[in-house]
């Protein structure tokens, strides 16, 4: 009898161990969706359009799409019209070891003429409208109990506070910008919104999130036409689809090929071909197709930094590194180290960049001057 009991215990232990191994091997990409405002905090209200309702609807719709992806787990800071304290929003993301944090809001301004979507990452700014956004969104602190104690010392105008925020977020900033850029592209291409760009501002929720994070302003509900669009079922569906697609595109590049230990790590070949491989058409249909201009060779670089400041490409600005290039096509400028034809060489550059202190650096790929997915480059 005792022997049978012992066997049962060992069997149960085996099952538990198998479950644990499966759970560790089946880690999912964790997306934290934060619907701005809620409950007693209405956010902006114009023309009968209420920010807290619109942000929640878009978050729930985007979340439902993302939940349909087997490799993605979605967590919400709120799923109903309830008040969630500002500290709890990034707090939930940090406790759950989220991979990305996305806070969704609506914009407003007094002239009621502005329109378009914009997405923020943490950072300093001298732009008055960016500062106004930070002030409006951070002011929710004041409706919380004991807010003076909780948020003591957080002043969006304080250089010390912003320096501290950037020190924490610098390793994550490049990925935050990439995610923000994908979201903006989706809003423009899918929802046909005016692109107001990727911007920086000292937003509290982004400062406290220990992962890549973005703060989305879907559009201006102070603008009667755009407010009506964002308040409509069709408008919310389009914005949610664009947001979800951007998240999944980001996941495809960073999660599956990440060396962080989460997800499935893709081991690339030791080298990547420097020249494109010609493919011979094998069917009659293919044979009759017009010849396409062959794509150029892949170029690998190491992204080391992103900043709103346009810096001279001199070694003294980049901890002694040379062969620096930049992408200044958006308000947030991306800086790259090196330019090589194989992934193996790029990995060597990455080691050098990290030794110089760029701990958040990572390899990116370009073809014909345009950034492409790393997985596609390695094919």
Q: What is the pLDDT of residues 177-236, one digit of tens each?
A: 889 989 999 999 999 999 998 888 888 788 788 899 999 999 999 999 999 999 999 999
The DSSP result for 186-223, as a single string, is: HHHHTS---EEEEEEE--HHHHH-SS-EEEEEEEETTS
Q: Is 262 within the bounds of a domain?
A: no
Give me the mean pLDDT over the 313-336 stretch: 88
Ranges 114-118, 130-134, 332-336: which has the least confidence: 130-134
Give me the mean pLDDT over the 372-376 stretch: 75
Closest by CA to 185, choosing from 246, 106, 102, is: 246
Q: What pLDDT is attached to residue 158?
A: 52
Contact 342, 272 (CB under 8 A): yes
- 326 pLDDT band, cuts 50/70/90, is very high
Same-domain status, 237 and 303:
no
- The residue that leads in pLDDT, 267 or 355, is 355
Same-domain status, 168 and 29:
yes
- The residue that leads in pLDDT, 83 or 26, is 83
For 147-157, the pLDDT digits (tens) are 554 545 555 54
Same-domain status, 238 and 288:
no
Q: What pLDDT is attached to residue 72?
A: 96
Range of the structural domain that residue 167 is part of: 25-254
Q: Is 1 within the bounds of a domain?
A: no
CA dist., res. 252 & res. 135, Å (int)? 34
Give yes or no for residue 279 having a pLDDT over 60.
Answer: no
Mean pLDDT over each residue of the chain, to the nearest integer = 77
Same-domain status, 101 and 163:
yes
CA dist., res. 289 & res. 237, Å (int)? 37
Same-domain status, 232 and 363:
no
Q: Is 271 within the bounds of a domain?
A: no
The DSSP result for 335-356, as a single string, is: EEEEEESSHHHHHHHHHHHHHT
CA-CA-CA-CA torsion sign (83, 86, 89, 94) = negative
CA dist., res. 213 & res. 206, Å (int)? 6
Same-domain status, 238 and 108:
yes
DSSP assignment letter at 146 = T
Ranges 78-82, 158-162, 169-173: which has the least confidence: 158-162
The DSSP result for 49-109, as a single string, is: EEHHHHHHHHHHHHHHHHHTSTTEEEEES-SSS----TTHHHHHHHHTT-SEEEEEEEE--
CA dist., res. 376 & res. 379, Å (int)? 5
Q: Is 265 within the bounds of a domain?
A: no
The residue out of 233, 254, 275 marking a domain boundary is: 254
**CATH number of the CATH domain containing 101:** 3.40.630.40
The residue out of 234, 254, 274 marking a domain boundary is: 254
- 102 pLDDT band, cuts 50/70/90, is very high
- Compute CA 172 distance to the chain's CA centroid, rounded to the nearest angstrom: 9
Ranges 31-40, 155-164, 211-220, 260-269: which has the least confidence: 260-269
Give the H/E segment covering residue 121.
strand 117-122
SS3 359: coil
Q: What pLDDT is attached to residue 13?
A: 42
Residue 344: how many other CB atoms lie within 10 Å: 14
Closest by CA to 132, choosing from 208, 222, 235, is: 222
Give yes or no for residue 115 having a pLDDT over 90.
Answer: yes
CA dist., res. 302 & res. 216, Å (int)? 27
Same-domain status, 63 and 208:
yes
Give yes or no for residue 323 having a pLDDT over 90.
Answer: yes
Q: For tokens 């050098």, what's the residue? A: 352
Instruction: For the full predicted model, state whether its pTM sits above 0.85.
Output: no
Q: What pLDDT is attached to residue 60?
A: 98
Same-domain status, 116 and 46:
yes
CA dist., res. 106 & res. 115, Å (int)? 11
Q: What pLDDT is attached to residue 283?
A: 29
Q: What pLDDT is attached to residue 208?
A: 81
Q: Is 72 within the bounds of a domain?
A: yes
Q: Is 3 within the bounds of a domain?
A: no
Give yes or no for residue 7 having a pLDDT over 50.
Answer: no
Q: Is 264 within the bounds of a domain?
A: no
Instruction: Give the per-residue SS3 of 269-336.
Output: CCCCCCCCCCCCCCCHHHHHCCCCCCCCCEEEEEEEEEECCCCCCCHHHCCCCCCEEEECCCCCEEEE
Q: How many domains does the chain have?
A: 2
Same-domain status, 300 and 240:
no
Q: Is 157 within the bounds of a domain?
A: yes
Same-domain status, 343 and 238:
no
Contact 47, 28 (CB under 8 A): no
Contact 322, 336 (CB under 8 A): no
Distant-in-sequence, close-in-space partners of 260: CB < 8 Å, separation ≥ 6: none
Same-domain status, 61 and 173:
yes
Q: What pLDDT is attached to residue 278?
A: 30
- The residue that leads in pLDDT, 134 or 238, is 238
Q: What pLDDT is attached to residue 171?
A: 65
Give yes or no for residue 10 having a pLDDT over 50.
Answer: no
Same-domain status, 151 and 57:
yes
Give yes or no for residue 255 having a pLDDT over 50.
Answer: yes
Q: For tokens 């701005």, what's the residue? A: 36
């Amino acid at each position: 009898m005792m022997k049978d009991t012992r066997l049962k215990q060992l069997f149960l232990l085996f099952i538990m161990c198998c479950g644990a191994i499966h759970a560790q091997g089946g880690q999912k990409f964790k997306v934290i969706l934060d619907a701005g405002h809620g409950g007693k905090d209405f956010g902006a209200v114009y023309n009968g359009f209420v920010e807290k309702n619109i942000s929640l609807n878009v978050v729930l719709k985007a979340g439902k799409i993302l939940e349909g992806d087997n490799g993605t787990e979605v967590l919400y800071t709120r799923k109903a019209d309830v008040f969630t304290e500002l500290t709890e929003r990034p707090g939930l993301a940090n406790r759950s070891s989220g991979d990305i944090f996305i806070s969704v809001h609506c914009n407003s301004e007094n002239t009621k003429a502005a329109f378009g979507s914009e997405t923020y990452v943490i950072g300093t700014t001298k732009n008055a409208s960016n500062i106004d956004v930070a002030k409006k969104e951070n002011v929710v602190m004041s409706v919380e109990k004991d807010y003076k104690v909780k948020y003591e010392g957080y002043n969006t105008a304080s250089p010390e506070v912003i320096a501290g925020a950037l020190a924490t977020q610098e390793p994550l900033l490049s990925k935050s910008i990439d995610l923000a850029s994908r979201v903006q592209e989706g809003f423009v291409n899918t929802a046909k919104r005016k692109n107001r760009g990727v911007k920086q501002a000292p937003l509290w929720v982004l400062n406290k999130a220990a992962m890549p994070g973005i703060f989305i302003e879907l559009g201006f509900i102070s603008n009667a036409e755009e407010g009506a669009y964002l308040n409509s079922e069709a408008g919310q569906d389009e914005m949610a689809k664009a947001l979800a697609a951007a998240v999944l595109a980001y996941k495809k590049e960073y999660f599956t090929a990440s060396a962080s230990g989460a997800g499935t790590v893709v081991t690339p070949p030791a080298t990547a071909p420097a020249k494109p491989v010609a493919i011979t058409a094998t069917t009659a249909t293919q044979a009759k197709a017009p010849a396409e201009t062959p794509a150029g060779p892949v170029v690998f670089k190491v992204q080391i930094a992103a900043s709103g400041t346009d810096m001279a490409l001199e070694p003294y600005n980049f901890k002694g590194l040379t062969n620096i290039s930049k992408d200044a096509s958006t308000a947030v400028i991306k800086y790259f180290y090196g330019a090589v034809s194989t992934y193996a060489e790029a990995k060597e550059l990455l080691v050098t960049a990290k030794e110089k202190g760029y701990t958040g650096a990572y390899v990116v790929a370009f073809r014909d001057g345009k950034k492409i997915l790393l997985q596609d480059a390695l094919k």
